[in-house]
C-alpha cells in the first residue's frame, strides 16, 4: 500500500529498506519517476512479486536486497505451527518470488542465501524454532542490505580510477543508485568523480522501451549536480564519432563465467559502437552478479516482456498497427570480447575474464 508522497530530498532516500518498525519492506516506486517520488510499504507476497515484475523495484542488486528483506517480512507472517511446515511455506514463497524475473541472478542469489541460513538453523532441534528462524533471517537480510551499500562504494572507488578530468561518459539503462540501495554500480564512479572535483559530462541513453535512462538515470544524475545530457539509444554512435565520449560504463544483470554480460536490451549495440571507435567499455557489477555456473552468454535465459511496452505504454494512443507482431526481449548479451574491464568490489577484472573471474571466487 502506498505511503503519501514525500518531500524529502531524493538523495537522502534508500531505494530499498526495512521499515523502522521492521514489519514491511519500503521501496521507491520507480514506475512513477521522475514525476513523483512515492514510497511503497509492502507486506504481502503478491505485491512483492508484482513490485519485481512490474519494475517498481528494479536493478539486479536492488532486487536481491528487496528479495532478502521480503523473505524476512513474509516469515514474520508465516503462521505454520511446526518446523517442517514453516520451512515448506518459506520455500514456496521463495520459489514464487524467484519466478518474477528470470535473468537477474541477484534475485535467486539472495533467496538462496536466505534459505541457506534457515536450513542451517533448522538443524538445531530445539523448541521456539520461530524465534530462532526469524532472528537468523533478519540478520541475513540486513547483512545483504549493508553489503550492497559497501560493495557499491568499492565499485565506485575502483571505477573512478578509469575516469580522467574532462571525460565524456555514456551509460545505458539505470545502473545507478535506483538499481541498488544507495550508490549504484555504473554510476558510482561518476558520483565519486564529482566528489573528487573531476569535470565529467554524462550522456544517458533513453533506453527503450521502458525508458530507464530517461526516467531514472537522467533524473538521479541531474539531481546530484552531474552534467547530464539525454540522448536516444540510436544517437550513441553519433556522439562517439564526434569525439565526445571517452568511456562507457554500464551495469549487468548476470555475468557468465567467460565474461559475457547480460544487461538491458541495447547494451550490446552500444558495446559494438564503442569497439568501432576504440572507446573502452566497462561493465560494473558486484561479484554476486557473476554466475560461475553459467558458462557463457548462450546459457543466460532472456526474459521477454509484454508487447504493449513497445506499442503503447508511453504514448497517449497506440503508435503501432493493432495486429503487428512485437519482439520485446528485456535484455541482450554483450560478448566478452567487446568488454574492456569488469569493475567489481574486488577491483577491475581484465581479459581473459575466465581466469580473472576464477580469481575472485
Residue 128, pLDDT score: 83
- Please give the average per-residue pLDDT across 42-67, as a whole number: 96
Q: What is the pLDDT of residue 11?
A: 63
**Catalytic residue chosen out of the listed positions 14, 148, 167, 253:** 253
pLDDT in tens, 103-146: 878 999 999 999 999 999 999 877 789 999 999 999 999 999 99
Contact 178, 146 (CB under 8 A): no
Domain spans, the chain: 10-153, 156-360
Q: What is the pLDDT of residue 6?
A: 43
Three-state secondary structure along 143-201?
A: HHHHHHHHHHHHHHHHHHHHCCCCCEEEECCCCCHHHCCCCCCCCHHHHHHHHCCCCCE
Q: What is the CATH number of domain 156-360?
A: 3.40.50.10470
Specify whether 253 is catalytic.
yes
- 68: CB partners within 8 A, 6+ apart: 110, 111, 113, 114, 140, 141, 144, 145
- Model pLDDT, residue 105: 85
Given a cut of 80, whether residue 12 has pLDDT beyond it is no
- Bridge partner list, 255: 261, 290
Average pLDDT for the chain:
94
**pLDDT at position 9:** 54
pLDDT in tens, 247-286: 999 999 999 999 999 999 999 999 999 999 999 999 999 9
8 pLDDT higher than 60 = no
pLDDT at residue number 333: 98
Q: Is the pTM of this model over 0.85?
A: yes
- CB 229, CB 217: distance < 8 Å: no
Model pLDDT, residue 266: 98
Confidence class of residue 4 from pLDDT cuts 50, 70 and 90? very low
Mean pLDDT of all residues in 79-105: 92
CATH for the stretch 10-153: 1.20.120.420
Where is average pLDDT lowest: 8-12, 51-55, 111-115, 162-166?
8-12
Give Cα separations from 227 to 143, 177, 181, 193, 274 (angstroms): 34, 17, 23, 12, 21
Residue 2 has pLDDT above 60, yes or no: no
Residue appearing with cell numbers 505451527: 81
Determine the average pLDDT of the residues in 302-308.
Answer: 95
Average pLDDT over residues 33-38: 90
Amino acid at each position: 500500500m502506498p505511503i503519501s508522497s514525500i518531500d524529502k530530498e531524493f538523495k537522502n532516500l534508500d531505494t530499498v529498506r526495512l521499515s523502522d518498525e521492521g514489519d514491511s519492506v519500503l521501496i521507491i516506486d520507480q514506475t512513477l519517476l521522475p514525476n513523483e517520488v512515492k514510497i511503497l510499504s509492502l507486506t504481502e507476497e503478491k505485491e512483492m512479486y508484482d513490485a519485481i515484475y512490474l519494475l517498481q523495484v528494479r536493478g539486479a542488486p536492488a532486487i536481491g536486497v528487496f528479495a532478502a528483506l521480503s523473505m524476512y517480512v513474509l516469515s514474520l507472517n508465516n503462521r505454520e505451527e511446526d518446523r517442517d511446515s514453516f520451512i515448506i511455506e518459506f520455500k514456496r514463497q521463495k520459489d514464487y518470488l524467484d519466478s518474477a524475473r528470470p535473468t537477474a541472478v541477484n534475485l535467486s542469489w539472495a533467496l538462496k542465501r536466505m534459505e541457506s541460513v534457515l536450513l542451517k538453523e533448522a538443524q538445531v532441534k530445539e523448541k521456539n524454532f520461530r524465534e530462532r528462524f526469524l532472528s537468523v533471517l533478519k540478520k541475513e537480510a540486513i547483512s545483504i542490505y549493508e553489503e550492497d551499500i559497501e560493495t557499491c562504494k568499492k565499485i565506485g572507488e575502483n571505477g573512478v580510477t578509469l575516469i580522467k578530468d574532462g571525460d565524456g561518459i555514456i551509460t545505458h539503462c539505470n545502473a545507478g543508485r535506483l538499481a541498488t540501495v544507495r550508490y549504484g554500480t555504473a554510476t558510482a564512479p561518476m558520483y565519486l568523480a564529482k566528489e573528487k572535483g573531476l569535470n565529467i559530462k554524462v550522456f544517458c541513453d533513453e533506453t527503450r522501451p521502458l525508458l530507464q535512462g530517461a526516467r531514472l538515470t537522467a533524473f538521479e544524475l541531474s539531481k546530484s549536480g552531474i552534467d547530464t545530457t539525454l540522448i536516444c539509444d540510436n544517437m550513441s554512435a553519433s556522439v562517439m564519432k564526434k569525439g565526445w565520449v571517452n568511456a562507457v560504463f554500464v551495469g549487468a544483470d548476470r555475468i557468465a563465467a567467460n565474461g559475457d554480460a547480460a544487461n538491458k536490451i541495447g547494451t550490446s549495440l552500444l558495446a559494438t559502437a564503442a569497439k568501432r571507435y576504440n572507446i573502452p567499455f566497462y561493465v560494473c557489477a558486484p561479484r554476486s552478479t557473476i554466475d560461475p555456473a553459467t558458462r557463457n552468454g548462450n546459457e543466460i535465459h532472456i526474459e521477454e516482456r509484454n508487447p504493449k511496452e513497445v506499442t503503447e505504454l508511453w504514448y497517449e494512443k497506440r503508435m503501432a498497427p493493432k495486429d503487428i507482431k512485437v519482439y520485446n526481449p528485456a535484455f541482450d548479451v554483450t560478448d566478452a570480447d567487446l568488454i574492456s574491464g569488469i569493475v567489481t568490489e574486488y577491483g577491475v577484472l581484465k581479459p581473459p575474464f575466465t581466469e580473472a573471474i576464477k580469481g575472485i571466487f
